[in-house]
Amino acid sequence: MRRLANNPSNGILKRNRLCLAVAIALVPVASYAQQEALVSSEVELGAGYVNKDAWKFGGYNGLGDEGAYLIGNIELRSRDRETARWWGLTGTNLGLSSRNLRFDLGTQGSYRLWAEYDQLEKRGNDTGRTLFNGAGSSSLTLPAGFAGIATTDTTQALRAAKVDPFLQKLDLRQERQNYVAGLSARLGRGWEASANFRHEKKDGIKLTGGVFGNSGGNPRSSLIPEPVDYETNQLEAALAYATQKMQFKASYYLSLFNNDNTSLTWQNPYRQIAGWTAASAGFPTGIGQLALPPENQFHQLAINGGYNPTQTTRLGYTLSIGRMTQDEPFLPYAATPGIVINTPLPRSSLDGQVNTTLANLNFTSRVLPRLTLRGSYRFDDRDDRTPRAQYLYIGADSQSPQSGVATNRARTNLPLSHQQNLVKLDADYRLFAGTKLNAGYDYDQIRRELEEVAKTKEHTLRFGVRRSIAENVTGAVSYARSQRRYDGYHDIPFEESFSPEYRATLTAATAWDNNPLMRKYNFSDRDRDRLKFNVSASPQQSVTLGLSADYYKDQHESEKNPLLGRQEAKGTTYTLDAAFTPAEKVTTHAYYTHDNYKSRQQNRSFASATKAAAGLEGPFAGDWFVGVDNEADTFGVGFKLTGFRGRIDFGADLTYTTSTGHVDPQSVGTSTALPLPENITRLTALQLFAKYQLQKNAWAKLSLLHQKYKESDWAWDNVRPTEMANVISTGQLPPDYTVTALGLSYIYRFQ
């Protein structure tokens, strides 16, 4: 017989069974059958009412529309203690578009089967409008009678006169429906097999942008509805073996993504402009075509496991190899009629293939009674084997075909490979009872192909202490210092993607696309400091207080002067927590969290005439900075009381969240900078419930959900559909609502 707490390694527990007989003699015997099990079976049925349409309120909960809804929740379970047979049927939100229904069946320790249906509707902004017919389909057309926006429509009023009469409501929403089935079975002698299959259907409409034009000077865009009609099938199958000393699992993961729409086409609502070299690009002949997410597959084989060579040492390993593929036939360079392609596509499809390898070795060992060492090595490789080819692209369905490759339109694709080697070492030392010291070191090396930086190395030192200051006070503080450096920064994407013939047409000072002073933040040199702190205290058994804080600062360095890109980022969060249990059946809690993120970046504004100078170090007339200061404060308070007057349970939760997004543009040169208003959100959410016991196994429940929300966002505030000269927007409004959902239900418990 295995004994868990009596494991010989457990020095705390060394007891014999001497007292068993004593206890047997002293304790009265009671029958299990007479006790109420916590495996309960309940059905809840009722009705609710939402007093107002509010898409944001119903973002994910299925309560976005005004009107009545059905409350339906079930939880039916049966477990036989003697035979181990069990089954369960659970359903939540059955009357809403956020419903879930799951059935489980099995014999514990032998096999288990399950099936599940899950629905999730994501509501998007429904206050916008669109010019196009066919929202939700892969082909958008302009309404009859629409005359097209001309270059002479230079004012918002003129554009509105052309567009507004034809605008129609645009309801953005997507829905996922998941069907899951699975089984697991013990095969004996420590072996177990399992499989889980998930089929997801996702459909709906989301917003995207459809542009005509080929440079910053002549784009004409519309925000258009993109159809979502996806299917994803995922299978996970595993065979596992386990003993107390070693565990092993071999698994296979398959993910197949399918999109019913390969592309989205739309008519150009803008009349021809001078910059479009394709004469047919403008209204009414111009047709744009976007590539929608292509069908793709992912296969992965993995083994992982662990081994305990001694009672105090654990070894672990993982090896997985995977392959992502994508080979959907290419769309043509252009869909606009009249653009005759004179150079065929170099390939008919991508034949994209990425091989992935992940290996991990790790160990944990208590080498001394007070000292534990841990270490791990991770190898993560993404090897992109996708063939490269040169494509002579047509700029957004508006350009004449290119002849020759001495042009910036001759571009070669850049398959992206990267490889990570990460070593982590840690030592924990228990100084004395309740106090643990920690020191650690990480070495993280990442190699990349066809990016600006071929290799980064990051060293991290970590220190921490965790202490039980008293039986009712615990605290921890940790500090980590990281330093990341790259080995050379070169404009590889430019050299590898643009043709040599085109690059030869440029002078040395202008032979670049992205400013050579730019250092992209995901691999630029960086010093990071991070400090974490928390303390928790229970001055009385009924009171718990907590304070936690997290601070980090990233300082991006560069050998260039100035550094373009992110220069600095800081994050500060802290939380105050309190819980109070004044009586056995009363619980209360309150918390406050402050969250702040700040960053500072530099860039410089330049045109073709000033390009050469803009790439040089030192001050430049177009230099500018932007500071970002995002702040959020969340306050929550709640209580729950059970058994009030023997029959009533009730509780409440109130959450108030406010956020402020502040962007501070600053010009130090010739650029003009004006301040931007702050973007502000305010959310007040109140949740109440009260349950009244009608009979021994029946309750009436009243539930209330009340939210008040307001958002200001200068990106959409006062932006009418034709506000921008070259983009037809949706004119959607930021959410602003006060909504109440009230429900009354009857709960019956089967006993």
Partner 1 sequence: MRVVPRLDLLRMLGMLGAALLLVAASPAALAQPAPGKASPEEVCKGCHLDYFNGYAASKHGVKGDERTPASMGGCLACHGDAALEHAAKGGGKGVGGIFSFSNPKVPAEEKAKVCLTCHQSGARVNWQLSSHANNDVACSSCHSVHAGDKDKVRIKATQFEVCGSCHRTQRAQINYPSHHPIKEGKVVCSSCHQPHGSVGPNMLVKGTVNETCYTCHAEKRGPFLWEHPPVREDCTNCHTPHGSINTPLLKARGPWLCQQCHSAQFHPSTLYSGTGLPPPTGNAAQQLLARSCLNCHTQVHGSNHPSGPRWTR
Touching partner 1, residues 676-705 (CB under 8 A): 676-677, 679, 681, 683, 685
Mask 239-278, x = binds partner 1 (CB under 8 A)? -x-x-x--x-x-----x-x-x-------------------
CA distance 534 to 608: 53
User: At closest approach, how far in Å is the CB of 232 from partner 1?
Assistant: 5
Q: Which amino acid, residue 241? A: Y
Q: Does 332 bind partner 1 (CB under 8 A)?
A: yes
- For partner 1, the binding residues in 391-430 under the rule CB under 8 A are 391, 393-397, 411, 413-416, 418, 426, 428, 430
Q: Does 114 bind partner 1 (CB under 8 A)?
A: no
Among 151, 154, 310, 522, binds partner 1 (CB under 8 A): 522
CB of 145 or CB of 459, closer to partner 1: 459
- For partner 1, the binding residues in 447-486 under the rule CB under 8 A are 448, 451, 466, 468, 471, 474, 476
CB of 145 or CB of 741, closer to partner 1: 741
Chain center to CA of 560? 34
CA distance 418 to 468: 43
Rounded to 5 degrees, what angle do the CA atoms 82, 86, 90 make?
Answer: 150
- For partner 1, the binding residues in 172-211 under the rule CB under 8 A are 192, 207-211
- Residue length of the chain: 751
Q: Does 533 bind partner 1 (CB under 8 A)?
A: no
- For partner 1, the binding residues in 65-84 under the rule CB under 8 A are 77, 79-84
Q: Order of strands, edge to edge, in the sheet holding 287-291? A: 139-140, 263-267, 287-291
User: At closest approach, how far in Å is the CB of 156 from partner 1?
Assistant: 8
Among 607, 646, 695, 696, binds partner 1 (CB under 8 A): 607
Q: Does 17 bind partner 1 (CB under 8 A)?
A: yes
CA distance 747 to 93: 14
Among 337, 338, 500, 675, binds partner 1 (CB under 8 A): 675
> Is 45 exposed, middle or buried (CB count within 10 Å of its CB: 0-12, 13-18, 19+)?
middle
Q: Does 3 bind partner 1 (CB under 8 A)?
A: yes
Nearest to residue 131, comparing CAs of 158, 165, 156, 154? 165
CB of 318 or CB of 697, closer to partner 1: 318
Among 117, 179, 330, 429, binds partner 1 (CB under 8 A): 330
Mask 136-155, x = binds partner 1 (CB under 8 A)? --------------------
Mask 713-732, x = binds partner 1 (CB under 8 A)? -xxx-xxx--xxxxx-xx--
Among 437, 673, 688, 700, binds partner 1 (CB under 8 A): 673
Token match 């850049």: residue? 414
CB of 128 or CB of 148, closer to partner 1: 128
Burial letters 186-200, b for 16+ CB under 10 A, else e: beeeeebebbbbbeb
Task: Answer whether 5's CB lies under 8 Å from 13's CB.
Answer: yes
Q: Which tokens belong to 187?
A: 């095969």
Helix (H) or strand (E) segment spanning residue 70: strand 67-79
User: At closest approach, how far in Å is the CB of 115 from partner 1?
Assistant: 16
Q: Does 156 bind partner 1 (CB under 8 A)?
A: yes
Q: Please count the other Cβ atoms lying within 10 Å of the Cβ belonging to residue 383.
A: 15
Residue 286, strand partner residues: none
Q: Is the peptide bond before 332 cis (omega within 30 degrees of 0)?
A: no
Token match 């929740």: residue? 73
Q: Does 706 bind partner 1 (CB under 8 A)?
A: no
Q: Does 44 bind partner 1 (CB under 8 A)?
A: no
CB of 268 or CB of 679, closer to partner 1: 679
- Report DSSP letters for 557-609, one per residue: E-SSSSPBEEEEEEEEEEEEEEEEEEETTEEEEEEEEEEEEEEEEEEE---GG
Task: Answer whether 296's CB lies under 8 Å from 327's CB.
Answer: no
- For partner 1, the binding residues in 587-606 under the rule CB under 8 A are 591, 593, 595, 597, 599, 601, 603-606
CB of 35 or CB of 561, closer to partner 1: 35
